[in-house]
């Protein structure tokens, strides 16, 4: 499987354009990764609230970013590259 | 008119939508672990074209399509998407019945206030409205979920014909079934198919009709009934004589495309009849100790779901399937009701001890089964709502109830299995929450 589990906190540049939230780039281990496409957004139950999962991609890889609205933190969940 | 909306290769297209590197490639969506032991939950159309079918063992599918990518199922994604689909459907009509996680029936009525019952013009208006809604739903799905996600829609006068029609063209099909050709001339719409009920029945096989499974099919073939059209023309007494009163009438109706069942909105569905969970193991297990750990987690999951919905049960069943596909089922009914995972587990464990396949054959790792196990399952039936049960008599039982309630509250707040019984820790990472396909309302609950 070319998916690598990461589960690490990241810094994300996000565009809020009502009603959409679009991650545009994120920093992982000091490296800036541009987001070209937001392919899918879904919610994941996490106890009494939900986390948002953004499936995004660029020409090199697909990433899953998770946003927890209770503490406003972003995580890089996993990376898929060929 | 009734719409049957069937999402095309649902899990696979959602994975392809989320990850463009999977688009256009044969993929197999499987349970967690993705080992050869699991089965294909959904195959992408690229894999289906090469012969892969839902439910096929992964090793079998890989043999057919060696290049197929295995993708671990992400049930949270599918459940949340179904919730969003529900919002799209309910935008058009309140009469929505989810038949499973990826299929729904919608009832569409003519929005014109001047509609006259049984008037051909008004009926034509309803058909036009059903087509308009179908096309709009297809658009909305693409807009909100993505271009890769498609559905096939069948439009007909009842649920049976609508469901058959949605299978008529896949993927991204739209098939309208009308009673006769006279009505057809008044209808024009895009690239969809327009067929008469008669033509539709000439095109399908007997087992394409929902409700006709392998066993019924075999018996029908023995009677010389080989096509849906012949089934419809078979005199009722012959069917009643062979299948009994209930099935005889039902088969006659199926053969004639008659179905009077109404749309049952999800919130109006009758209460639960059973709770169950099963798990296909990534690797076969041999020892009773290993089987017990998996069983304990399944029992905890079932108990948790029962408590969430306020039910207790007193018939507990357990099954194990072996690598040679033989299986053993054991069940027992008790006087006391329970929804405590540990109590369900203890019962299941004792049932397994009594089972004919279990032999106290002591090997290095302890008692072992005579055959390797590939799947374990548990179910609880004979349910009663907790409101109808008295509080436990003994202090000890009341303390256990309190402890379970406290654990539930912690898991409600912080997520499932934040706190769990010690032995489950060993298997927790290996087992995934898998919604039970037999429980039609499971996904609605999960989106609460």
CB distance from B87 to chain A under 8 Å?
Answer: no
Cβ distance of B80 and A43 shorter than 8 Å: yes
Closest-CA distance, A47 to chain B, in angstroms, reads: 3
Cβ distance of B145 and A40 shorter than 8 Å: yes
**Residue B16, pLDDT score:** 97
**Residue B204, pLDDT score:** 93
**Residue B441, pLDDT score:** 35
Q: Are B39 and B59 in contact (CB under 8 A)?
A: no
**Residue B363, pLDDT score:** 40
Cβ distance of B21 and A62 shorter than 8 Å: yes
Q: Which residues of B387-414 are buried (b: 16+ CB within 10 A; e: fewer)?
A: eeeeeeeeeeeeeeeeebeebeeebeee
Cβ distance of A47 and B17 shorter than 8 Å: no
Encode pLDDT of A6-41 as tens digits.
Answer: 999 999 999 988 778 899 999 999 999 999 999 999
* CB within 8 Å of B36: residues ≥ 6 apart: B57, B58, B59, B62
* Distance separating alpha carbons of residues B89 and B389, to the nearest angstrom: 38
3-state secondary structure of B163: helix
* Distance separating alpha carbons of residues B3 and B155, to the nearest angstrom: 5
What residues of A are in contact with residue B21 (Cβ under 8 Å)? 57, 61-62, 80-82
Encode pLDDT of B122-148 as tens digits.
Answer: 777 888 889 999 999 999 999 999 999
What residues of B are in contact with residue A20 (Cβ under 8 Å)? none
**Between B67 and B438, residue with greater pLDDT:** B67
* Joined tokens for residue B115: 């509609």
* Distance separating alpha carbons of residues B332 and B389, to the nearest angstrom: 20
- Inter-residue long-range contacts of B134-141, CB under 8 Å, 24+ positions, other chains counted: B134/B3, B134/B174, B134/B192, B135/B174, B135/B189, B135/B190, B136/B92, B137/B3, B137/B5, B137/B88, B137/B89, B137/B92, B138/B172, B138/B174, B140/B88, B140/B91, B141/B85, B141/B88
Calculate mean pLDDT across residues B422-436.
Answer: 56
**Among candidate residues B302, B301, B311, the one with its CA nearest the CA of residue B271:** B311
What residues of B are in contact with residue A38 (Cβ under 8 Å)? none
**Has residue B269 got a pLDDT over 80?**
no
What DSSP character marks residue B39? B
What DSSP character marks residue B118? T
* Distance separating alpha carbons of residues A77 and B427, to the nearest angstrom: 22
Residue given tokens 């070209």 in the structure block:
A36
**Has residue B448 got a pLDDT over 70?**
no
**Has residue B432 got a pLDDT over 50?**
no
**Has residue B44 got a pLDDT over 80?**
yes
Across B29-38, B277-286, B362-371, the highest mean pLDDT is recorded for: B277-286
Least confident span in A30-39, B157-166, B271-280: B271-280
Question: Per the confidence metrics, is the pTM higher than 0.95?
Answer: no
* CB within 8 Å of B182: residues ≥ 6 apart: none
* Distance separating alpha carbons of residues B183 and B68, to the nearest angstrom: 45
Question: Across the interface, which of A39, A47, A48 has its CB nearest the CB of B19?
Answer: A39
Encode pLDDT of B314-356 as tens digits.
Answer: 999 998 887 777 777 888 888 888 999 888 998 988 887 776 5
Per-chain mean pLDDT for chain B: 82
CB distance from B23 to chain A under 8 Å?
Answer: no
* Distance separating alpha carbons of residues B10 and B150, to the nearest angstrom: 8
Cβ distance of A42 and B81 shorter than 8 Å: yes
**Has residue B435 got a pLDDT over 50?**
no
Q: What percent of chain B shows pLDDT beyond 90?
A: 42
**Residue B322, pLDDT score:** 78
**Has residue B366 got a pLDDT over 70?**
no
Residue of B nearest to A55 (CA): B18
Question: Across the interface, which of B72, B77, B415 has its CB nearest the CB of A42?
Answer: B77
What residues of A are in contact with residue B18 (Cβ under 8 Å)? 39-40, 55, 62, 64
**Residue A77, pLDDT score:** 94
**Among candidate residues A19, A11, A24, A27, the one with its CA nearest the CA of residue A72:** A11
């Amino acid at each position: 499987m070319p998916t690598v589990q990461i589960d690490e906190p990241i810094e994300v540049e996000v565009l809020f354009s009502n009603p959409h939230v679009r991650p545009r780039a994120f920093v992982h281990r000091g490296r800036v990764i541009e987001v070209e496409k937001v392919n899918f957004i879904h919610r994941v139950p996490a106890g009494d609230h939900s986390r948002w999962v953004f499936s995004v991609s660029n020409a090199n890889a697909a990433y899953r970013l998770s946003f927890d609205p209770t503490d406003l933190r972003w995580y890089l969940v996993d990376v898929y590259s060929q | 008119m009734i719409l049957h909306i069937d999402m095309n290769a649902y899990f696979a297209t959602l994975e392809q939508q989320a990850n463009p590197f999977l688009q256009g490639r044969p993929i197999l969506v499987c349970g967690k672990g993705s080992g050869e032991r699991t089965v294909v939950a959904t195959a992408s159309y690229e894999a289906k074209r090469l012969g892969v079918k839902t439910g096929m063992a992964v090793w079998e599918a890989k043999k057919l399509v060696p290049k197929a990518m295995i993708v671990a199922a992400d049930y949270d994604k599918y459940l949340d998407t179904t919730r969003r689909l529900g919002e799209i459907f309910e935008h058009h009509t309140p009469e929505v019945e989810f038949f499973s996680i990826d299929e729904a029936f919608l009832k569409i009525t003519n929005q014109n206030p001047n509609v006259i019952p049984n008037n051909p013009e008004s009926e034509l208006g309803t058909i036009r409205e059903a087509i308009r809604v179908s096309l709009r739903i297809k658009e909305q799905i693409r807009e909100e979920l993505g271009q890769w996600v498609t559905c096939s829609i069948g439009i007909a006068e009842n649920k049976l014909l609508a469901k058959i029609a949605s299978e008529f063209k896949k993927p991204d099909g739209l098939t309208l079934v009308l009673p006769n050709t006279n009505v057809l001339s008044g209808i024009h719409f895009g690239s969809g198919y327009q067929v008469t009920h008669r033509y539709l029945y000439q095109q399908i096989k007997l087992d394409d009709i929902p409700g006709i499974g392998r066993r019924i099919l075999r018996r029908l073939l023995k009677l010389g009934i080989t096509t849906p059209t012949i089934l419809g023309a078979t005199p009722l007494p012959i069917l009643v004589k062979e299948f009994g009163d209930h099935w005889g009438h039902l088969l006659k109706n199926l053969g004639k495309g008659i179905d009077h069942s109404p749309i049952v909105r999800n919130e109006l569905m009758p209460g639960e009849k059973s709770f169950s969970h099963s798990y296909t193991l990534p690797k076969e297990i041999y020892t009773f100790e290993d089987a017990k750990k998996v069983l304990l987690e399944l029992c905890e999951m079932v108990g948790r779901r029962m408590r969430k919905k306020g039910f207790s049960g007193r018939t507990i069943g357990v099954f194990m399937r072996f690598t040679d596909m033989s299986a053993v089922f054991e069940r027992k009914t008790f006087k006391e009701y329970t929804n405590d995972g540990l109590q369900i587990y203890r019962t299941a464990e004792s049932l397994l001890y009594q089972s004919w396949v279990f032999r106290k054959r002591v090997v290095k790792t302890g008692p072992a089964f005579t055959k390797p196990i590939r799947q374990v399952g548990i179910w609880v039936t004979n349910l009663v709502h907790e409101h109808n049960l008295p509080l436990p008599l003994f202090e000890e039982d009341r303390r256990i109830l309190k402890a379970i309630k406290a654990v539930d509250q912690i898991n409600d707040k912080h997520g499932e299995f934040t706190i769990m019984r010690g032995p489950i820790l060993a298997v927790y990472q290996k087992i995934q929450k898998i919604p039970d396909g037999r429980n039609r309302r499971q996904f609605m609950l999960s989106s609460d």
